[in-house]
Amino acid sequence: MRRLLIAGLVAIAAALVTGCGGKPRPAPLPAGTTILALGDSLTYGTGATPETSYPAFLAATTGWTVVNGGVPGDTAQQGCERMPALVAEHQPALILVFLGGNDILRRRSAGAITEGLAACVHSAQADGKPLVLLAVPSFGITGFDDVPLFAEFAEGRKLPWLSPGLGKLLRDDALRADAIHLNADGYRALAANVARELRRLGYVAQ
């Protein structure tokens, strides 16, 4: 009985210090750490200003230095093509990839999206940089819902991913600047969601 109890405690402890797929949880990143937020107009802050974008609010929430790598109109392929230069310039400790929305709007295939995202993954792995994928929603019968492709892509490659809750935010007229972009209050809420999920993953201290 004693051995079984000890074995059970060991198993619980192992579960607490590992994330999905048995990987060790990352250590929380301290204030001042440089993070790269790669994305399109939703990262840039279209509908508000760069000072009220989600990367700016995320920096204020975490104390990190968050580089806004958002370019309006970028597809997953275009954004990931820009990533190596941004990583070389800023040497971030973590990369947040929020791409694919423009691919969905342009009705590009799932294969085109995953091929673009794979370029980000390969580049991050080559540089030894951790990467977290943010899921993108698509408009459907029930409203804005996360596209399963992003979770499937991340889980298939054992990558951490999170849902920033963009679909729910876009359902709230008070948080929207237009049909697909948030206003300053919306980006503040988006940043809070991202920070909460990064805390769950271990990157933000509890």
Q: Quick one: which H or E segment has residue 8? A: helix 2-17
**pLDDT per residue as tens digits for the range 146-175:** 789 999 999 999 999 999 999 999 999 999
Confidence check: pLDDT of 4 > 50: no
Is the residue at 185 inside a domain?
yes
Q: With 50 as the cut, is the pLDDT of residue 15 above it?
A: no
Burial of 129 (0-12, 13-18, 19+ CB in 10 A): middle
User: Does the pLDDT value for residue 186 go beyond 60?
Assistant: yes
pLDDT for 25 beyond 80: yes
Q: Into how many domains does the chain fold?
A: 1
The answer as to whether 77 is a domain residue is: yes
Average pLDDT over residues 169-185: 95
Q: How confident is the model at residue 140 (pLDDT cuts 50, 70, 90)?
A: low
Q: Is residue 143 part of a domain?
A: yes
Rounded percentage of the chain residues whose pLDDT exceeds 90: 81
pLDDT confidence bin for 53, thresholds 50/70/90: very high
Amino acid identity for residue 127 in this structure: D
Q: Does the residue 137 lie in any domain? A: yes
Give me the domain span that covers residue 104.
Answer: 29-201
pLDDT, mean of residues 72-77: 97
pLDDT over 50 at 21, yes or no = no
- The stretch 65-69 carries a mean pLDDT of 98
Check pLDDT > 50 for residue 6: no
The sign of the CA dihedral 52, 57, 63, 67 is negative
pLDDT value of position 23: 64
The pLDDT of residue 9 is 38
Supply the pLDDT for residue 163: 95
pLDDT for the residue 12: 38
The tokens for 19 are 């994330």
Q: What is the CATH number of the domain that holds 191?
A: 3.40.50.1110
**Residue 22 within any structural domain of the chain:** no
Residue 114 belongs to a domain: yes
**Do the domain assignments include residue 184?**
yes
Closest CA to 184 of 36, 54, 41, 40: 54
Does the residue 23 lie in any domain?
no
**CA neighbor of 20 nearest in space, from 156, 190, 194:** 156
Alpha helices in 18-109 (DSSP H): 41-44, 54-62, 76-90, 101-105
93-122 tens-digit pLDDT: 999 999 999 999 999 999 999 999 999 999
